[in-house]
Structure 1
Amino acid sequence: MSKLAEVLAAAKAEDRAALIGYLPAGYPSVDGSIAALRAMIEGGVDIVEVGLPYSDPQMDGPVIQKAVQAALDAGITTLDVLRVVEGAAATGAPTLVMSYWNPIERFGTDRFAAALAAAGGAGTILPDLIPEEADDWIAAADAHGLDRVFLVAQTSTGERIALTTEVCRGFVYAASLMGVTGTRDAVSGSAKDLVARTREHTEVPVCVGLGVSNGVQAAEVAAFADGVIVGSAFVRRLIEAPDEASGLVAVRALAEELAEAVRKGRR
């Protein structure tokens, strides 16, 4: 069992959902993003996603785009991203890279898998890579002991869900809404149905992301999902902070709120 699977199993044994937090590497700086991820973990985040900044962020909403662009403007590289992974993974929390496929392919599929494993990374989430085109990545991930997370969406047919879950290791990422990332006033009502449909095809944990921004929403999702994924809300806390120190306080406080909420979600 991988470290990621162990953490998800431990959360299930506690009758709660796992809390998964996302931040792009390099914002507000490379060292600043490591510090922010560690603050999130100290606040109660179980698993972290490190975003690999990319110039064509198809799924990213305006908040994440702003942070990603700042990191790109500062000259962040894939090697910097791996340094952020190493800094977060050193805490013991499973650390995934969230990336579009193009930068990994350009870096070199096996080279990236080897470097990610060497940095202590747990695996990847690849939102724009479909199972039919993932043979090279699946082989590289398996060769280096990495988990591989793919996405299902509200529009996914049963056949598509079955195909996707078959190649998932670690968890299945259920996108709770169509469109780009970002905070929402309410969680999509169809998220629960998507989780139920996905569980018809797999025993791999199903974690829900896109749109969760506060404790109330996190508790709502935790009541039916194996994990609650929060991204834009953490990034917003950093963007709105007057300085890096204040940003760390803000993301830690949000993590504490969300961690308490996922424990209430099953009660």
Structure 2
Amino acid sequence: MSGVGQNDWDPGIYHRFRGQRLRPALDLLARVGPLPKGDVVDLGCGAGDVASALHLRFCETQKARLIGVDRSPAMMQQARALDVYDRLDEADIALWTPDEAPALIFSNASLHWASDHQTLLPRLVAALAPGGTLAVQVPHQNNAPSHRLWRTLADELCPGRMDDVDLPSVLLPAQYYHLLETMGDVRLWETDYFQKLPPSEDGHPVRCFTEATYARPILQAMPDHESERLVRAYDELIPKAYPLSADGSALFPFRRLFFTVVRAGHGAPAP
């Protein structure tokens, strides 16, 4: 996770939906091909949810080092306890640079918290070893009711609170393609995950899912009485977009954007 000047992440709240959040990461990992020699970097590693899969895939077979990078002290504490990473760097993912050219920069659900992708993404690709891969997954959900409703209600109920809030955002898929196409082989795709969110005693499951991530900076920008009012209003309206099943669960379509870039140049592994 990348810090954006807000309070630290809460790993417990984030991991209430660990299975739903991990599936896209594993799908992205499955699309990474052979790698040259070099480190494997888990950029925006959070609590290390993908660490074991990365280690099994690349470090045990290719003897690559696994390096985690994240800005959240709370998340890094959990990642450190896994004892899987060879090194953990507490750093802003938007500013991080590797000591040596890595074979893989793997970024799952983190780069949408970093700004200026037009500069950041080419810099990450250029940092790779020739034939190395940048693999990225970001939510592409900002125009869905789950996310729009937070912004609409915040503007209506808490005027002015959103003025200085930096919300996660991404470019259009075609913008990423044209930004990176001259740097190597670009593969880009989207997937809609129809997730069954379990019932929650705390409120609507979609609210519980989104308040831990997308709505986090919105809620942190206002005093408790305003955030509580916003949450109540969201819970009241969100069932119109995501009706509850008889058991209190909710079917939640969530779109993810994926792309990989294999850096051009000599040193690429044989297919």
TM-score by length of 1: 0.30
Structure of higher CA gyration radius: 2
* TM-score of the aligned structures, taking structure 2 as reference length: 0.30
